[in-house]
């Protein structure tokens, strides 16, 4: 029955997307055959109001009708422009994660169940919610630390949200499997794998202890950084369903007029924001991946405070070196070095020619150097770079795509603060310092030290590795002599699983078909 339920939810979602004009907003002139016929039919069933709205407004209305799971789906897909395209990703990034609040009594029940203590023992007072999103809502509260009343923010998971996400994820997986099966051209985008990533991301985001850990890690990384910090976490009052942290008194970064009225230097804030982001990315390999202006506050002294760390990105040392060298290569116009870095990192297959790849990169870099510095977008450069690398068989790398998306958002925020913002001049000190520290003599010494450590670790594992190799050799000899065999139980289990999968797929397809026929009949 889960397949039938998933099919009904999928049909309902499709119908809402049609009625709210999301499907009609797709560039239908670029389609042909049955997809174009379907697009034309979708336009017939679109609400007249929706036809007068922009695509981002249509998506906002559709998501509001579909509920919190689809808000999170939209925000997740905004991090994957490789899947939905850059234009749609930007529209999805504008989705407002603002939902209705749930009752104070439900929040108290969730807090007490998660922490095992009465709310009156945890907080001096707990106010009504001040903001609500798809997964949780935030309350203002007060805690007595050593007898001193201190204002805190309490984030509480929305009741029933895990169950709702679980049910909706079934329909997402059904859609992904049908897409892979019947639309061969979409297989390179790996829709099932993308859905699995969404499922894992939402599981992490729904455990507020993990968000607390991310805040703690970023706080430790940035404790000596000028002009940037994150709220401190109260671990005594934090559990799976509740996160208590420092209350932030500041002006939201989307309130440009308020920042100017308070006397802040907007150009300095823009530079600080970009340099902080690059510092986190290159130095620490751990960055806030949802840095839209609603999640950024500016305190009275100009310090930027980032909140809501439900989505974070990580880059390994190889990815950090890749990012730093390509940015520095574009700054210095060393296109051959940019190309070599792609090959050294293993991102571009060695069957391609380095010089030809460098030529393609030069086609991106040279037009940029002919423009005024304030018009050059680093985010656009990364987008163009990834488009070129597709021609040279570079596989999609989710961590780099997330970085690109975050760069687009952060750079956009900086330009709202300072329309003449010079991205390259601002980035050069951070990128150049990382290059000198990690690729100069000191960096070589660190690499050598890590290499020695890896050799020592390998030597310690040598006896175990030798034993495993011997067992594997015996298994291969037996397989070569007798062939690969399954016992009766394994063979029966495989047969049952395949039959069940086939039946559920057929049931789902029939439900979708019958529901669509019923909807069309009712409308006619």
Catalytic positions are 290
| Coil, strand or helix at 223 | coil
Partners of 151 in beta bridges: 142
| Coil, strand or helix at 199 | helix
User: How far apart are alpha carbons 229 and 299 in whole angstroms?
Assistant: 10
User: What is the tally of helices (H) and strands (E) in the chain?
Assistant: 22, 10
Tokens 């897409």 locate to: 179
Q: Which helix (H) or strand (E) holds 298?
A: strand 296-298
User: How far apart are alpha carbons 241 and 115 in whole angstroms?
Assistant: 9
Could you write out the three-class secondary structure of 378-411? HHHHHHHHHHHHHHCCCCCCHHHHHHHHHHHHHH
User: How far apart are alpha carbons 391 and 399 in whole angstroms?
Assistant: 20
Give how far Cα 249 sits from Cα of 52, 260, 261, 485, 516, Å.
Answer: 40, 17, 16, 67, 51
63 CA to centre of own chain: 18
Helices (DSSP H) in 300-422: which residue ranges? 317-332, 335-344, 354-369, 378-391, 398-417
User: How far apart are alpha carbons 244 and 82 in whole angstroms?
Assistant: 36
Q: Which helix (H) or strand (E) holds 251?
A: strand 251-252
111 CA to centre of own chain: 28
Rg (CA), the chain: 26
User: How far apart are alpha carbons 64 and 323 in whole angstroms?
Assistant: 37
User: How far apart are alpha carbons 45 and 23 in whole angstroms?
Assistant: 10
Give how far Cα 280 sits from Cα of 229, 287, 317, 465, 477, Å.
Answer: 11, 5, 13, 37, 51
At 166, list the tokens: 């679980």
User: How far apart are alpha carbons 326 and 348 in whole angstroms?
Assistant: 14
Contact predicate 129/178, CB 8 Å:
no
Contact predicate 321/438, CB 8 Å:
yes
Tokens 């922009």 locate to: 54
Tokens 């055959």 locate to: 33
CA angle 507, 511, 516 (to 5 degrees): 155
């Amino acid at each position: 029955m889960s397949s039938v339920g998933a099919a009904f939810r999928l049909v309902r979602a499709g119908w809402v997307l049609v009625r709210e004009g999301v499907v009609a907003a797709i560039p239908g002139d670029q389609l042909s055959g049955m997809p174009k016929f379907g697009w034309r039919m979708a336009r017939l069933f679109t609400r007249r109001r929706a036809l007068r709205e922009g695509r981002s407004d249509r998506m906002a209305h559709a998501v509001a009708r579909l509920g919190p799971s689809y808000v999170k789906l939209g925000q997740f897909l905004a991090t994957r422009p490789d899947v939905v395209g850059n234009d749609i990703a930007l529209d999805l990034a504008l989705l407002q994660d603002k939902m209705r609040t749930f009752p104070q009594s439900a929040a108290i029940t969730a807090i007490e169940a998660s922490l095992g203590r009465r709310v009156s023992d945890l907080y001096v007072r707990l106010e009504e919610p001040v903001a609500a999103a798809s997964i949780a809502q935030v309350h203002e509260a007060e805690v007595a630390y050593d007898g001193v009343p201190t204002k805190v923010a309490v984030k509480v998971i929305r009741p029933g949200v895990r169950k709702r996400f679980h049910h909706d994820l079934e329909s997402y997986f059904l859609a992904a499997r049908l897409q892979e099966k019947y639309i061969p051209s979409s297989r390179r985008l790996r829709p099932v794998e993308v859905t699995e990533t969404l499922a894992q991301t939402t599981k992490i985001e729904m455990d507020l202890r993990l968000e607390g850990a991310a805040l703690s890690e970023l706080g430790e990384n940035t404790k000596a950084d000028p002009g940037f910090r994150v709220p401190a976490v109260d671990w005594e009052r934090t559990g799976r369903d509740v996160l208590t942290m420092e209350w932030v008194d500041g002006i939201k970064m989307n309130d440009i007029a308020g920042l100017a009225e308070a006397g802040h230097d907007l150009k300095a804030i823009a530079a600080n924001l970009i340099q902080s982001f690059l510092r986190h990315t290159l130095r620490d390999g751990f960055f806030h991946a949802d840095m839209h202006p609603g999640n950024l506050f500016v305190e009275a002294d100009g310090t930027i405070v980032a909140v809501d760390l439900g989505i974070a990105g990580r880059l390994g040392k190889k990815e950090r070196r890749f990012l730093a060298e390509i940015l520095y290569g574009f700054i210095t116009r060393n296109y051959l070095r940019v190309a070599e870095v792609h090959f050294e990192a293993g991102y571009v297959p060695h069957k391609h020619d380095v010089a030809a790849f460098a030529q393609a990169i030069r086609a991106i870099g040279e037009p940029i150097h002919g423009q005024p510095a304030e018009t050059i977008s680093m985010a656009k450069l990364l987008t163009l770079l990834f488009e070129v690398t597709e021609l040279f068989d570079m596989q999609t790398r989710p961590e780099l795509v997330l970085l690109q998306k975050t760069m687009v958002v952060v750079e956009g925020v900086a330009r709202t603060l300072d329309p003449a913002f010079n991205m390259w001049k601002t980035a050069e000190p951070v990128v150049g310092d990382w290059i000198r520290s990690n690729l100069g003599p000191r960096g070589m010494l660190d690499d050598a030290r890590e290499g020695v450590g890896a050799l020592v670790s390998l030597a310690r594992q040598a006896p175990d590795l030798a034993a495993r190799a011997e067992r594997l050799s015996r298994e291969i000899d037996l397989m070569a002599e007798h062939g690969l065999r399954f016992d009766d139980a394994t063979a029966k289990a495989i047969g049952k699983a395949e039959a069940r999968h086939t039946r559920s797929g057929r049931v789902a397809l029939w439900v979708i078909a019958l529901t669509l026929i019923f909807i069309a009949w009712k409308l006619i």
